[in-house]
Structure 1
């Protein structure tokens, strides 16, 4: 069982703290093996917003954790507590994966873990982070940044995206989607999407692309083009591109490729279908094309991904949940 330690101190925001606890504390249906063990670590009773918390352990427990999560700090004008900074640094040196949510990035930066690395935080504080820690490559335009052993997220909803990203890394796409369904949140967004849009996004039912997204997801096996998508919503290709950039932070083709890859991940995890069949089911055409895009996007070939995640999760699925293309 992997241990997730939530590192808390006075002045932390309760939203990101509660969010991380909800994601990692309870396993969704379908997990065959062990889930995470969550511990809360702090210097003593701490106040998060209007809540008083009693940690399970002191900061000396952090170096024993597999993953350490630092939630958001309410006041970034003050230097983060030295005991928290030292403990987070020690945990990373001991081999822990260290994650910051929102302004928790200031703790990681103070610990030196972001030196020479790309990182992000809530868009309202990116300038302050860059000014205070010039050795950090601050990216204000993304939801989260994954540097392997050090990960940072923007604020609020982006913290959920990063937590789901961690579940996806550890347990696969199907389980991460199950967590999202349990929490009634959308499936994980890509880290490279924009933190915020320049114009307000209308209510989902009234957004010009509201009906397009489910229409596309039901047709991933088809060779869709930008022109096909534009025709479906009665727009020009250029106008469609503008709406996509506002709604998703990316282009129609990149979004479509991401959905194809995610569908391939799920099929690799929960079916016995061949790579050729999965390539056809996801609109990739051939196994060669699927392998090329999958390896570039996910970082491993489809066969390796299947061996890693299907053996971990498949036995936990009910027979009724197992399906074929």
Structure 2
């Protein structure tokens, strides 16, 4: 009790210690994942304020969830489901959240419906202005809401204005690796296929053209088909192969696996064979890529690691609201399959 008889709460301690209430709860409750310096500061301030032993013992019974967090996930416009990449990343986030005291409230909605009204309704319904946002660029009104009211971490996207923390794959390096795999197999006439020209596809395109420019006798072209979906690539290249008897490129470098798989299906439906008639490489190494015949060559990155890093960034932002913005980048590796034919040998790499 204070001199005026006011009961000391964890909010009072959090204010003095300059940390979040959840940090106070974890520090006093004996949670493992907390800095010893922060733990000691919280306990010292609690003692100075006269936080009672009975009250101090209460946080040891850890709450069901320390941080309530809304997760905004873009809905696939055709199937109404979740993009395989986002599904695998979100699954990793669910597992990591259970270990880090987060309660997730996933919201699968069309991207165009993610407006200020929807966000404020979710914040009120779940009692939190803390969120993860997958892939989507927050519109200005939504960005201001999180800047003024809460914490937001972008997943599989970045904020080029450096307002929000983010975690993303190294798109540039990954596409240089993919293009180099084609070049190493002897291909010199390459086509880069993008669904759209958002940040990630632009970075992948940049990696493609830089790799091509470093090979003196290579030539690269780009094609933007509108959407980075399996269905879009399937329909586009069904028409393309039906209307063309030949083409100028020998290798297709796709902006993601879904477009690569759609292209392979379009080739099959037009009597063509990958990699005999042309070679293909994707990006993402989604689970479907191991099921194609032949197995798709692609670029892999750790989606579980991305989810864990996103949670780490969110906890840091809550505990240190004024900390510098972090853009965390996940590394990549090349996954060999059988969809690239070595020029001159007739053998797929």
TM-score under structure 2 length normalisation: 0.28
> Quick check: which one's strand share is greater?
2
**Which structure has the greater CA radius of gyration?**
2
Q: Which has the higher contact order (CA 8 A, sep 6+)?
A: 2
Scaled by the length of structure 1, what TM-score is found? 0.29
